[in-house]
Structure 1
Amino acid sequence: MSHDDFAVEPVPGLPERPPEGEHILWQGKPDWWRLSVESLSLNWVAGYFVFLAAWRFVTLVDQMTLMAAFAASAPLLIMGAVVCAILMVVGYVQARATLYTITNRRVAMRIGAALTVTLNLPYTQIGRADFKPGKHGTGTITFDLMGDTRLSYLVCWPHVRPWVMRRTQPALRCIPEAEKIAALIAETAETRIATPRVERAPSQPAMAAE
C-alpha cells in the first residue's frame, strides 16, 4: 500500500512506471490556502489570538489610556500573526510536496514534506469514497479501505479524514474542481471493478495414446 519515495520518481507522483494497460487520468495538488485553513485550523488560531488581545484591551482600557491599553494588547496580535504565518508556511510546504494521481486502476498519493511516501490505493481495496465539498470549488474525497489494511494516521496526516484514528481513512484534501474529480473516481472505480479478470488456465498434459 505504501512505498518509500526517496528514490527519483520515474513518473511524477508514482514510485515506478505504470504497468502495461494503466494510464494516468488526473494529477493535482491540494489548494495550499484551504489546506492551511481546514487541516491546520488557521481561522480558529487567528480568532483565538484576536480574542485574547480584545480581552486584554477591555480589561485594561479602564485602568489606563486608550493608546496604552492598545499597546499592551498589541504583542498578542503580533504573536498571533507569527503563529499564523508559520501555519501558512507549513500548509504551503505540505501542498507543494503532495501530488495526487488517479489512474484507471488506482489512486496514488505522494505525500509528506520531511518523510515522503507514496500510498497506492487500488479500486478493488476501496470500500467506499465520501465527497465533502468545500469553498471556492475545492473539496475532500475520503477513502474507506476494505480488509485488514492499516495506515498510520501520523504518517498520512494531513491527508486523512480528521480525527478518525482507529481506522485511518486516507483523503485527497482540499483539491480544486473536487466535484468533477469525485465523479471521475466513481466512474473509473465502477468500470474497474465491473471489468472481469481473464486469467490463463494451466495447460493440461496430453493424454498418452493407449
Structure 2
Amino acid sequence: MSMAEFDDISTVLRQEELPAGERMLWQGRPDWWRLALGAFQLKAAGVYFLAFALWRFGMTYWETGTPLVAVHSVLTLLPSLGLGVSLVMLLAYLTARATTFTITERRLVLRFGVALPAQLNVPLKDVEAAAVRLYSDGSGDIPLTLPDAGRPSYFQLWPYARPWRLGRAEPMLRAVPNAEAVARLLSEALVAAQGGQRVAVVPAQAEARPVPAGQPAAV
C-alpha cells in the first residue's frame, strides 16, 4: 500500500503503466453532482444560506416594520448565494474530473487531486473488509478497511476518505456511478486476489436500499 504525490501525473491510469500480465478490470470517475451533495455538502450550504436569509428577513422586519424592506434585504443576498453554490459545484466538478478509480486483478488505484495530483495504490490482498452504500440514483460509496501499517491519513485521502474515520482513515470510492455493479466486480476481484478466501462484508447504511450481506456479489 502506497500514497504518493506527483507534479505531472496523468489523471487516467493506462494499461501500459501496469506490470506485465496484470489486467485492468474497471475504470471510472465519480459523479460530480453526487460528489457535490456528499463530500462538499451542497445541501448544507443551501440550508445555511436559507437560515441566514430568514434571520435577515426577521431582523429587518423587526427594525423597520415594513415587509417590503425586509424582502428587499433578503433579495440582496441572492448574488452571494448564487456565487457560493456555484463555487461549490465548480469545485466538485473539477475534483471529479481530476479523479480516476481503477480496479485491476491485483490492486485498486485512486488518482485524484486538482492542484497537486496524488495516487493511492492499494493491493487487493491487503483489503480486510469492504462495504457499499447505495443511493437512489444508482450511485454509491465503497469504503475499504485496510491494515494500520502504511495507512494514509484522513486528510491525505479527502474527499475519498470515509466520513468521520479520522483516527483510522479508510479510503473510499466515492460517488461511483452504477455502484452495485462496481461493488460486484470488486468483490470478485478481492476473492480472486486473496486465493478464494471470502473477504468480510460490512453492509453500509443505504439511502434508498441496502445491499444484502449474504449475496456473494456485493461488497
TM-score bucket of the superposed structures, by smaller chain: 0.7 to 0.9
CA contact (8 A) 2:108 2:124 kept: yes
TM superposition score normalised by structure 1: 0.85
Task: Determine the C-alpha separation between the residues in 2 that align with 1:149 and 1:183.
Answer: 27
Instruction: Pick closer, same or farther for the CA change 1:8–1:168 going to 2, 3 Å.
Output: closer
| Equivalence map 1:25-44=2 (5 Å) | 25-44=25-44
Post-superposition offset of 1:16: 6.8
Post-superposition offset of 1:195: 6.1
Task: Determine the C-alpha separation between the residues in 1 that align with 2:53 and 2:4.
Answer: 46
| Equivalence map 1:34-113=2 (5 Å) | 34-61=34-61, 63-113=64-114
CA contact (8 A) 1:14 1:110 kept: no
CA contact (8 A) 2:9 2:117 kept: no
Secondary structure of 1:174's counterpart equals: strand
Secondary structure of 2:194's counterpart equals: helix
Secondary structure of 2:97's counterpart equals: helix
Secondary structure of 2:149's counterpart equals: coil
| Equivalence map 1:4-19=2 (5 Å) | 4-9=5-10, 12-13=12-13, 17-19=17-19
Task: Determine the C-alpha separation between the residues in 1 that align with 2:54 and 2:45.
Answer: 14
Instruction: Pick closer, same or farther for the CA change 1:71–1:15 going to 2, 3 Å.
Output: farther
CA contact (8 A) 1:142 1:171 kept: yes
Secondary structure of 1:115's counterpart equals: coil
Secondary structure of 2:49's counterpart equals: helix
Post-superposition offset of 1:154: 1.6
Q: What is the identity, as a one-letter code, of the residue corresponding to 2:45?
A: V
Task: Determine the C-alpha separation between the residues in 2 that align with 1:108 and 1:53.
Answer: 43
Secondary structure of 2:150's counterpart equals: coil
CA contact (8 A) 2:15 2:23 kept: no
Secondary structure of 2:17's counterpart equals: coil
Task: Determine the C-alpha separation between the residues in 2 that align with 1:106 and 1:75.
Answer: 52
| Equivalence map 1:137-156=2 (5 Å) | 137-156=138-157
Runs of 5+ unmatched residues, structure 1: 197-210
CA contact (8 A) 1:45 1:80 kept: no
CA contact (8 A) 1:125 1:147 kept: no
Task: Determine the C-alpha separation between the residues in 2 that align with 1:92 and 1:12.
Answer: 16
Q: What is the identity, as a one-letter code, of the residue corresponding to 2:145?
A: D
Q: What is the identity, as a one-letter code, of the residue corresponding to 2:140?
A: G
Task: Determine the C-alpha separation between the residues in 1 that align with 2:163 and 2:52.
Answer: 27
Larger Rg, first or second structure (1 or 2)? 1
Post-superposition offset of 1:15: 10
- How many equivalent residue pairs? 195
Task: Determine the C-alpha separation between the residues in 2 that align with 1:65 and 1:114.
Answer: 48
Post-superposition offset of 1:14: 5.7
Task: Determine the C-alpha separation between the residues in 2 that align with 1:148 and 1:186.
Answer: 23
TM superposition score normalised by structure 2: 0.82
The alignment-based identity, stated in percent, is 34
Residues 47-106 of structure 1: CA distance to partner in whole angstroms, max 9, x if unpaired? 111111122213433634332111112233332221111111111111000000011111
Post-superposition offset of 1:12: 2.5
Task: Determine the C-alpha separation between the residues in 2 that align with 1:16 and 1:75.
Answer: 55
Task: Determine the C-alpha separation between the residues in 2 that align with 1:15 and 1:194.
Answer: 24
Q: What is the identity, as a one-letter code, of the residue corresponding to 1:175?
A: V
